[in-house]
């Protein structure tokens, strides 16, 4: 089997990035979202990001035009049933993901592979609720997708070897590098990254350092490109909290307990860049620490 058509569920930040790299690699992409506005915005973002690559001589104008021509959109989820590979990139809530797969199942081709871009939820559990657990995998892209080189490939307990090998080939065609992870809470990247971010929030919560001093310390003292609180705002504090809860619930270890301050920010609706406030306030010309 070869994959030529790819359906992507969710036209948010991850969905449009995934559509971008697949179209550029020569795949026909069908991008789905319940919101027509989200789809329109997503296509505009992809075009803008491809223009940036053209301006930096990473791709040609003809390659950009060809990639854009490969992207189609739909508000009808069932339309994705005719694709060879489906990538679910909806919100990080298991009930939402299960509902999406349940709606898709009656319309899928026999050979269609199902994947989730989840950053933490059990692949085995998601797969068990479908009719094809052997053709189900975690396909976790990093944000921003066009720039980040890593893709985590997560096999559920039932995933078969042909499915795994086929997705390895897809990652290679995208020009990215695959890291194979076992199906344990948060996989590899977030198993390591999120506790670091959570510890940075605890450092702030306990008054050890300010937002500025914590971020500067990690940038200048550990050579990180972004400070952990700045990175949390970029990821989304609600996503960070959700992953910490998955770790805490799944591994039953107190070291994964979400910091109460992280919970408080999420309860306030201060989710980071996407809401203009998080550990920084982004409403002015320059981000200002909120603590």
Helix, coil or strand: residue 44: helix
Same domain, 151 and 205: no
What value does the CA radius of gyration of the chain take, rounded to a whole number of Å? Answer: 19
Residue tagged 């504090």 (tokens): 237
Same domain, 225 and 154: no
Please tell me which residue in 42, 116, 117, 152 is annotated as part of the active site: 152
| Span 211-228, average pLDDT | 98
Same domain, 152 and 203: no
Distance CA 28, CA 30 (A): 7
Phi-psi region of 27 (alpha: psi -120 to 50; beta: other; left: phi over 0): beta
Q: Which two tokens stand for residue 62?
A: 């003809």
β-bridge partners, 136: 114
Same domain, 112 and 220: no
Same domain, 250 and 173: no
Please tell me which residue in 116, 190, 198, 230 is annotated as part of the active site: 190
Give 277's DSSP letter. Answer: B
Same domain, 174 and 194: no
Same domain, 127 and 203: no
Q: Could you say which of 151, 182, 213 is where a domain stops?
A: 182
pLDDT single digits (tens) 8-64: 999 999 999 999 999 999 999 999 999 999 999 999 999 999 999 999 999 999 999
At a CB cut-off of 8 Å and minimum separation 6, what does 55 contact?
none
Active site residue 152: yes
pLDDT single digits (tens) 245-258: 999 999 999 999 99
CB 147: neighbour CB atoms within 10 A? 11
Distance CA 75, CA 37 (A): 10
Active site residue 117: no
Q: Could you say which of 138, 162, 182 is where a domain stops?
A: 182
Same domain, 88 and 108: yes
Q: Which two tokens stand for residue 245?
A: 């809860």
Please tell me which residue in 116, 117, 119, 120 is annotated as part of the active site: 119
Active site residue 20: no
Same domain, 109 and 218: no
Residue 91 has pLDDT above 90, yes or no: no
Amino acid 1: pLDDT: 79
Residue tagged 């035009």 (tokens): 65
Helix, coil or strand: residue 43: helix
Q: Determine the structural domain holding residue 216 and report its residue range.
A: 190-289
Distance CA 122, CA 191 (A): 13
**Which pLDDT band holds residue 176 (cuts at 50, 70, 90)?**
very high
Q: Could you say which of 128, 162, 182 is where a domain stops?
A: 182
Same domain, 86 and 201: no
pLDDT single digits (tens) 107-122: 999 999 999 999 889 9
Active site residue 161: no
Number of domains in the chain: 2
Same domain, 108 and 160: yes
**Which pLDDT band holds residue 259 (cuts at 50, 70, 90)?**
very high
Q: What is the CATH number of the domain that holds 176?
A: 3.40.50.720
| Span 243-270, average pLDDT | 96
Same domain, 249 and 172: no
Give 102's DSSP letter. Answer: H
At a CB cut-off of 8 Å and minimum separation 6, what does 193 contact?
none
Q: Which of 78, 76, 88 is nearest to 118 (CA)?
A: 88
pLDDT single digits (tens) 134-144: 999 999 999 99
Please tell me which residue in 20, 32, 140, 230 is annotated as part of the active site: 140
Q: What is the CATH number of the domain that holds 233?
A: 1.10.1040.10
β-bridge partners, 116: 88, 138
What does the CA dihedral 25, 30, 34, 37 come to, rounded to 10 degrees?
60
């Amino acid at each position: 089997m070869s994959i030529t058509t790819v359906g992507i569920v969710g036209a948010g930040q991850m969905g449009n990035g995934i559509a971008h790299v697949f179209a550029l690699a020569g795949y026909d992409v069908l991008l789905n979202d319940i919101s027509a506005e989200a789809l329109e915005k997503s296509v505009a973002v992809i075009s803008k990001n491809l223009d940036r690559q053209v301006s930096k001589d990473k791709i040609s104008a003809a390659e950009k035009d060809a990639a854009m021509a490969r992207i189609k959109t739909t508000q009808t989820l069932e339309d994705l049933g005719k694709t060879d590979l489906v990538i679910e990139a909806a919100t990080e809530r298991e009930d939402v993901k299960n509902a999406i797969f349940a709606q898709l199942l009656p319309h899928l081709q026999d050979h269609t592979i199902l994947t989730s871009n989840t950053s933490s939820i059990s692949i085995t559990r998601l797969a068990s609720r479908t009719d094809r657990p052997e053709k189900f995998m975690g396909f976790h892209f990093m944000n921003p997708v066009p720039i980040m080189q890593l893709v985590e490939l997560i096999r559920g307990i039932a995933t078969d070897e042909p499915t795994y090998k086929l997705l390895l080939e897809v990652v290679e065609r995208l020009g990215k590098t695959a890291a194979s992870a076992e199906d344990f809470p948060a996989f590899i990247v977030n198993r390591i990254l999120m506790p670091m971010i959570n510890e940075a929030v605890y450092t702030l919560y306990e008054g050890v350092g300010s937002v500025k001093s914590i971020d500067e310390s990690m940038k200048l003292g550990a050579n990180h490109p972004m400070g952990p609180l700045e990175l949390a705002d970029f990821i989304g504090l609600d996503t960070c909290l959700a992953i910490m809860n998955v770790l805490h619930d799944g591994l039953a270890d107190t070291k994964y307990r979400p910091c109460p301050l992280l919970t408080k920010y999420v309860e306030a609706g201060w989710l980071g860049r996407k809401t203009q406030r998080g550990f920084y306030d982004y409403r002015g010309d320059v981000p200002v620490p909120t603590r």
